[in-house]
Amino acid sequence: MLTLKEFLRSEVKPALGCTEPGAVALAVARACAELPGRDDIAAVRVTVSSSIYKNGMAVGIPGTKGARGNAIAAAMGAICGDASLGLEVLRNSTLEDVAKAEAWVRDERVSIYCDPDRSGVYVLASVFTPGHKAVCLIENSHSNVVKTVLDNETTYEAERKGSSASGFDDGFPQTLQEALAMADEIDAEDVKFIWDGINMNYKVAEGGFRSQQECSSCGACLQGSKFGLTLLEIDQDCGCDKVPAAMEIRSTCAAAAEARMSGILLPVMSSAGSGNHGITAILPVAVLGRRTGKSVEEIAKAVAVSHIATSFVKHNLGRLSPVCGCSVAAGAGAAAGMTYLMGGSYDQICTAMSLLLANIAGMLCDGAKESCALKVGAAATEAYYAMEWALMGQRLAVPQGVFGETIEETVENVGRISREGMRTVDRVMIEILDKRHRPSSVAF
């Protein structure tokens, strides 16, 4: 049986920037680590799944002052990426590295190929020098290096573990009640780790609340909209003495997501392989806990519940999906965490998750970019109201729509809609986005 520590170690990790281009940069950097040196790299070729391609197409890359997309991430991975840092692979990048990477992309030394028949996490990076070819394959999860090759000789191959079609290792409990029981194992070490994640994500939210000039000093390029900040201004216009809980939750989550998607040079604590999932799963619980005076330990355990519930839903959606996992999966996780925090029973936790899923199960993923802040903020708010309804005794009386007899049935219904009913959505979405973003260095 999976333990809480094993779960946190595998599914809750720091990530710098969007995890899809992060996986691209990591795969390239890991391939480069097999080469005798990086000085004479002639070309970088990366084949990615449709899911990686879509999410990395237009998102800001950390520390680049506005550069976007998988091609820049791949170039940066080759120029300055440190594979030992995992999904913080570009932590030590400089503006000189960015300028060099942009030149590589312009000179077509970097190509991104989309394999439309692959979904989920799949990144195959090949790096060429005059005398060598190095390859790295990442699969199933964003930092899961499964194989490296140098000049047709395998240099590393991970032990193949059993994994589900969704891209998760087997061993996760099959029922929500069994899964949530892991939270009871929490100890002081886990509390500290979870609070490291809370503080990490709050710091990114603070970056989203700052002015344009202040944000540029810490490596973000926040241009145009400031959704989190203006939400607070809207509320102030209402003449409220204190920001309502739902508004504080929404603005904090929106600010964090927008800063992250814009490329702020700060990591977030991810959940189920996604930084935006981490924002949605962590910050609503933390904001509510602080407002209601809950203890450090109570908040940490509630956040653990949120992470676990998020992964429970993600096991049915898959690592990457046509629906917005940060809203649907992490939104359900936040609803569970907040309900637990406020003393709700297991049945009320199930009710809150079901209400959230019945509400926004069909929210589409149209790639990673600043407008993810709208979805993250909306999901966090709806999670808060789902919690309030559940604690008031409000619930759906009979199965209807995706809402089933049990939380397991509801989650399976949502997963089927995503896996089976929306099979062509990503292909159509990519066609739409391609017309706007596709550079000459991208091919199918």
The percentage of the chain sitting over the pLDDT mark of 90, rounded to a whole number, equals 76
Per-residue pLDDT tens for 231-281? 777 766 555 667 899 999 999 999 999 999 988 989 999 999 899 999 999
What pLDDT sits at residue 238? 55
Rounded distance, CA 191 to CA 195, Å?
Answer: 6
The β-bridge partners of 135 are: 126, 149
Q: Is the pLDDT of residue 224 over 70?
A: no
CB atoms near residue 119 (< 10 Å): 22
DSSP-derived 3-state class of residue 169:
strand
Per residue in 80-113, pLDDT (tens digit) is 999 999 999 999 999 999 999 999 999 999 999 9
Report the pLDDT value the prediction gives residue 439, as an integer from 0 to 100.
53
Residue 342 has phi, psi (to 5 degrees) of: -90, 20
pLDDT at site 37 = 86
Do 386 and 353 form a contact (C-beta atoms < 8 A)? yes
For 119, the token pair is: 């979904």
Task: Using a pLDDT cut of 70, give the percent of the chain over it.
Answer: 91
Q: Is the pLDDT of residue 376 over 50?
A: yes
User: What is the arithmetic mean of pLDDT over 390-415?
Assistant: 95
Please state, in angstroms and rounded to a whole number, the distance separating the CA atoms of residues 274 and 214: 26
The pLDDT, as a whole number, for residue 440 is 44
Least confident of 149-158, 204-213, 216-225: 216-225
Q: What is the pLDDT of residues 62-89, one digit of tens each?
A: 878 788 999 999 999 999 999 999 999 9
Q: Taking all residues of the chain, what is their mean pLDDT, rounded to a whole number?
A: 90
5-48 per-position pLDDT tens digit: 999 999 999 999 899 999 999 999 999 999 998 889 999 999 99
Q: Which of 158, 147, 160, 157 is nearest to 31 (CA)?
A: 147
- The pLDDT score that the predictor gives to residue 159 is 84
Query: Which pLDDT score, from 0 to 100, does residue 81 have?
Result: 96
Q: What mean pLDDT do residues 158-170 have?
A: 63
Name which of 433, 415, 330 is nearest 377 in CA terms: 330
Residue 117 is encoded by which pair of tokens? 């028949």
pLDDT band at 218; cut points 50, 70, 90: very low
Per-residue model confidence (pLDDT) at position 240: 60
